[in-house]
Amino acid sequence: MNFNSMPVKISDVSFDMEGQSVSVEGKITDIYQTSGPLVFRIYDGSEIRAVIFNPVEGFHSLKIGDFVRFYGVLSIRRENVELQISKFERLNETELKVVMKNIENMFLDKIKRDAPDFLVSSDIYKKMEAQFLLAMTSIKKAVLQERMIIIRHHNDCDGITAGISLEKAISSYADKEKKKDCKIFRKPCTAPYYDLEDSLKDIDLYFSFSKKKPLLIIADNGSTDSDLQGILRAKVYDFEIGVIDHHPPTKTDNGEYLIDKYVSFHINPHIYSGDSNLCTGMLAYEVSRMIDSEIDSYGIHIPALAGVGDKSKGIEMDQYLEISPFKREELERIKLALDHESYYVGRFGIKNYIEDIMMIGDRDRGNLIIDHVSEEIDKKRISQWNLIKKYLDIKNLAEDFDLISIELDKLIFRGEFPSPGRTLGFIHNKYIWNNEINEDERAIISLGMAEDYLVIRATNKAKVIGFDLNDIIKQLKDVYLEEVQGGGHPGAGTIRFVPILKDEVRKVTLEYIGKVVKKNQKEK
């Protein structure tokens, strides 16, 4: 069909072409009706607004995602060039493949890795490099397409540092590319996994702010069966999803990773013979540097901060600490303040406030907040320990193997800092510090029991000899599929259950620990 119009690429359209009859072809990225014309946005690697004032019925059959050729006359409106459409036609299969290939090539020309190398030397990073590049490509492509990007993360030091790194780098890249319609939302997860509430709120965001396919990035969550239902709901609405996590990923019965068929990228060191010492804040920071390397100018300490928050060890952690302008003791204070304030900030996500604490905003204000928090926490811990130590049940199960138990919910206020997990972590660490214990040489397992949850912490030695709380959860879920939830790292996490199962969960947990003790004694 020939409408005597000159075919042009959208990137070649200019103000001096006003009044010319042209045709453009590409993908429809948006459609909306104004009080005047019906408006389309069409994309071929660049985008133009195309309008028609009295559309015939065929125009109303067009949908976002369709590939078309618009014919019309170029005009200028509010200092922008737009196309006043006269006719359209759908592309045939051959034309469609050519346009899609051209769009993909234009993306590849624009999408380059900003930081040429990883910040630290790591064999695991080298194994994972393809996934890092896949993540960078998906994110940059979403920015260039001006799609909505949602960053969901665990609400602790590791998760927050991951989320903030991604948000800062993506926002900077969007600004440089002048993609002002790329909306970026960062929100902490409700639970220590991507749950249904998170997913439904993200779907609502999509309805409210975007008609284009959103990109959802789940950080420090996302790899396990606990995340699956939230991910499935988002996929119903065609979300593109990527996961950056360091928790042990769930496998299917045939050995595949459960979430892989639903996501565009899945960065997790466990998949590449690594472990949780490469925490999410480190992984996300490396992705962020690929997107915008300027983050190093103000946030180069972030991976070390994340590692301190998750008690990471290893050659990568040592290198990050060496690079960081803040010493470990300073990072510990930042981490404590970040955990404390984020607990009360919750899902509000006060951006500048959190960035000040992380020392990537106003450092004077950040230091004041850290001082206030440190003073308050010191008082709380002294008082808390004086009470808690009276109710600790400490048993020596074998040589170099101790079990610490406490009825945790009877010693804390609900909804106040420190949370059950942080309280048990404090108890666990306090026992280690007071007794000058080497975590690599003595197995210590701490159990914090409550009416409907069990918090667990274990030393490195306990993990080395076979303890893994995820084994306990699997054993319980084999019997109580829906009544038991939870997960975490092998030596740190929470089991949630309906209250009627409290005694059963305690029994199964103690029996499991007993088997670990016996197995270790036999091997000696």
Q: Buried b / exposed e across 226-238, counting CB within 10 Å, b at 16+?
A: bbbebbebbbeee
The answer, yes or no, to whether the previous bond of 418 is cis (omega within 30 of 0) is: yes
Judge: domain 6-91, CATH 3.30.70.100: no
Q: Which CATH topology does 389-523 take? A: Diaminopimelate Epimerase; Chain A, domain 1 (3.10.310)
Give per-residue pLDDT as tens, 98-117: 999 888 887 777 789 999 99
Helix crossing, 328-345 with 157-176: angle to 10°? 90
Instruction: With a cut of 70, say whether residue 2 has pLDDT above it.
Output: no
Give per-residue pLDDT as tens, 342-381: 888 875 657 799 999 999 999 999 999 999 999 999 998 9
Which residues lie closer than 8 Å to 404 by C-beta, 6 or more apart?
A: 392, 393, 394, 427, 428, 431, 444, 445, 446, 447
Q: Buried b / exposed e across 30-54, counting CB within 10 Å, b at 16+?
A: bbeeeeebbbbbbbbbbbbbbbbee
Closest CA to 263 of 212, 227, 209, 210: 227
Dist. CA 473–CA 508, nearest whole Å:
10
Asked if 300 and 359 count as a contact pair (C-beta separation under 8 A), the reply is no
Can you give the residue ranges of every domain in the chain?
6-91, 117-325, 326-379, 389-523
Q: Let me know if 482 is exposed, middle or buried by CB neighbors in 10 A (0-12, 13-18, 19+).
A: exposed
Which residues lie closer than 8 Å to 524 by C-beta, 6 or more apart?
A: none
Average pLDDT, the chain: 93
Q: Which CATH topology does 117-325 take? A: inorganic pyrophosphatase (n-terminal core) (3.90.1640)
| Number of Cβ within a 10 Å radius of residue 177 | 14
Give per-residue pLDDT as tens, 71-97: 999 999 888 899 999 999 999 999 999
